[in-house]
Amino acid sequence: MFITTNFQPKSTDMKSTKFSVLVCLLLLGSTLLAQSKEEAIRKDLGTYFDLLGELKISEALDMVHPEFIDMIGKESFVAQYEQMFNTPGMSITMDDFKINSVSPVFNHASKDYSLVDYQFIMTFQVDMSDDKDGLLKGILMGSYGRQYGEENVAFEDPDKFVITVKREMIAVNAEGYSTWKILDIDEGMKTILVAFVPQEVFTHFNR
């Protein structure tokens, strides 16, 4: 004998199922959006790093926070970089840029913010031909060590100081920006940076 029944799910069960599906879809959408924003940040920073490595300073500055650039003027920034990279008796290269981490995006006052941890290698090649006693080498090693950390500075004979520079930046995006904009975090400039990035953002990232 076969017994057949007509099973009808309770309306409350159906509502619960629909709600669970909706929550899953919302979570999936949020995850995909977060991933797409992180990918965009990494892509734009890759472009920025390439420009710096190729010493295309003017183009790289176009990707820096516009209000920060406007504070001093793009021409002044370019002049400072050109002076640094054209110091007599010294040549500077930057390469091996690496993004260590990109934080989840924090939205505040209609702008998106992300904390980025990154590093790169900066090489100073210095004319050491007159440094017979190693005095200049010692002075530069001490200066670079205090600035970047002694553990991050190495000397390669005969004339190269190789420095691992570890930094953090805030990546910013807002309506009207063609790319994510960059603002390096420097503790000594914190009072200036809060003019462009609200304190709530630094508080959120514990910086």
End-to-end CA distance of the chain: 74
pLDDT confidence band for 24 (50 / 70 / 90):
low
For the stretch 45-57, pLDDT in tens is: 999 999 999 999 9
Residue 31 pLDDT > 70, yes or no?
Answer: no
Lookup: tokens for 198? 């609200």
List the one residue out of 63, 50, 54 whose CA is nearest residue 171: 63
The architecture in CATH of the region 11-204 reads Roll (3.10)
What's the mean pLDDT when you consider all of the chain? 87
Lookup: tokens for 68? 């920060």
Lookup: tokens for 136? 């200049």
The string of DSSP letters for 44-74 reads HHHHHHHHHHTT-HHHHHTTB-HHHHHHH-H
Residues with Cβ within 8 Å of 139's Cβ and at least 6 positions away in sequence, in order, are: none
User: Tokens 């009207």 label which residue?
Assistant: 176
Residue 12 pLDDT > 60, yes or no?
Answer: no
Lookup: tokens for 46? 């890759």
pLDDT confidence band for 191 (50 / 70 / 90):
confident
For the stretch 84-109, pLDDT in tens is: 888 999 999 999 999 999 999 999 99
The predicted pLDDT at position 164 comes to 97
Its pTM stands at 0.79
Q: Where are the domains of the chain?
A: 11-204
SS3 120: strand
* Torsional class of 73: left (φ above 0), alpha (ψ -120 to 50), beta (otherwise): left
